[in-house]
């Protein structure tokens, strides 16, 4: 079954072709970072307009690369939520129009389920059940996964997501958007011994997260380091290192706690922040002590992408799930509401 996947939930346009027998055939991604960087964050109207411009050319590019025609497509999957409503509507409208024209089924896919299943695109992939850490600009969640559509939310951020906290900390340090990669590069030059930032909510029971207090602590430290209104490059590097260490340390502690609570030995990490090399290294080292494994997608599939939507859509379309007449995009969409896929566990 050959599935065309479209991802347009936020500021990246992703298109991919996934075959249930042959795997991923082709994928393409256009990032809107250059459009939004001057505003320090995503402007929804600009994001929607750029999806309109880029999605069809990317579809043509991917189909040409894979050497397939519309007659070869068996179904279309698109991101139906969560995300920016205008951006979601672009992908949904185009997917449904193409599906009608080509005479194939179409299905709206949950964006975070796409991230959760992205490691399945790798040759070495996890087996169910496992705990998933979904960590991105909009979400920080720990989820028990017993199969596709069999999800139990264990904990989530009560305020800023980890990726959002990275963006805000970067802005405090005068770094460009998006903040995560810039913080990580600057942190490499920082002194890990100079500052010790708090690890939020690790001393209380439960698996929820909170990064607002860490954000305030970072801002206060930046202000304390100002001399004649300026913060030196070394001060910025030391603050970046302390901030990154605090976020990574918090995530690692919560992941170990979740695995122990659920009695599992497999962790999946996905979402944009999962590309952070420090986080990967610390998790791998910490879980080795627990005789546990961690799986994550290739870096190209950590951020939003069409491949994860094509894969997730293929599993559900193969099981006979399709859009109905009352299907709508959903800017907010709890993942626990998704129906299970029979036999996928």
Domains 2-118+301-337 and 128-296 share a fold: yes
Residue set of the binding site for substrate: 134-138, 167, 180, 276
Bridge partner list, 133: 142, 269
Q: Where are the domains of the chain?
A: 2-118+301-337, 128-296
pLDDT tens digits, 24-77: 999 999 999 999 988 888 999 999 999 999 999 999 999 999 999 999 999 999
Residue tagged 């260490």 (tokens): 245
Whole-angstrom Cα Rg for the chain: 20
Residue set of the binding site for Fe cation: 111, 115, 304
- pLDDT at position 345 is 45
Beta strands in the chain (DSSP E): 2-7, 12-19, 23-31, 75-81, 106-110, 130-135, 140-147, 150-156, 266-270, 293-295
pLDDT tens digits, 92-147: 999 999 999 999 999 999 999 999 999 999 999 999 999 999 998 788 999 999 99
Q: What is the CATH number of domain 2-118+301-337?
A: 3.30.420.40
Residue set of the binding site: 111, 115, 134-138, 167, 180, 276, 304
Which pair of structure tokens corresponds to residue 81? 């939520």
Band (222; pLDDT cuts 50, 70, 90): very high
Bridge partner list, 28: 15
pLDDT tens digits, 234-264: 999 999 999 999 999 999 999 999 999 999 9
CA 114, 119, 13, 281 torsion-angle sign: positive
Q: Is 312 helix (H, G, I), strand (E, B) or coil?
A: helix
- Distance (Å, whole) CA 329 – CA 323: 11
Domain 128-296 has CATH 3.40.50.10140: no
């Amino acid at each position: 079954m050959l599935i065309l996947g479209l991802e347009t939930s936020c500021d990246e346009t992703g298109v991919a072709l996934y075959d249930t027998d042959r795997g991923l055939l082709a994928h393409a991604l256009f990032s809107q970072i250059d459009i939004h960087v001057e505003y320090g964050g995503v402007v929804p109207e600009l994001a929607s307009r750029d999806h309109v411009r880029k999605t069809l050319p990317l579809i043509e590019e991917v189909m040409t690369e894979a050497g397939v025609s519309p007659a070869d497509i068996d179904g279309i999957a698109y991101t139906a939520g969560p995300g920016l409503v205008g951006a979601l509507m672009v992908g949904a409208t185009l997917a449904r129009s193409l599906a009608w024209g080509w005479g194939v089924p179409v299905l709206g896919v949950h964006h975070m389920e796409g991230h959760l299943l992205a490691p399945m695109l790798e040759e070495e992939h996890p087996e169910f059940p496992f705990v998933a850490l979904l960590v991105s600009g909009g979400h920080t969640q720990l989820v028990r996964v017993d199969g596709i559509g069999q999800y139990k939310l264990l904990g989530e951020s009560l305020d800023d997501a980890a990726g959002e906290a990275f963006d805000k900390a970067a802005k405090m340090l005068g770094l460009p958007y998006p903040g995560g990669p810039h913080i990580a590069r600057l942190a490499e030059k920082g002194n890990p011994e100079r500052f010790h930032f708090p690890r939020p909510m690790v001393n209380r029971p439960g698996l929820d997260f909170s990064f607002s207090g860490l954000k305030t602590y970072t801002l206060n430290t930046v202000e304390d380091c100002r001399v004649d209104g300026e913060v030196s490059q070394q001060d910025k590097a030391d603050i970046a290192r302390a901030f990154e260490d605090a976020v990574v340390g918090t995530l690692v502690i919560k992941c170990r706690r979740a695995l122990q609570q659920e009695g599992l030995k497999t962790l999946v990490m996905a979402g944009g922040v999962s590309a952070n090399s420090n986080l990967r290294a610390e998790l791998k080292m910490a879980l080795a002590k627990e005789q546990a494994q961690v799986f994550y997608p290739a870096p190209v599939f950590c951020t939003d992408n069409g491949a994860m939507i094509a894969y997730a859509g293929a599993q559900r379309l193969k099981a006979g799930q399709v859009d109905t007449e009352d299907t709508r995009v959903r800017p907010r969409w709890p993942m626990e509401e998704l129906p299970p896929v029979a036999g996928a566990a």
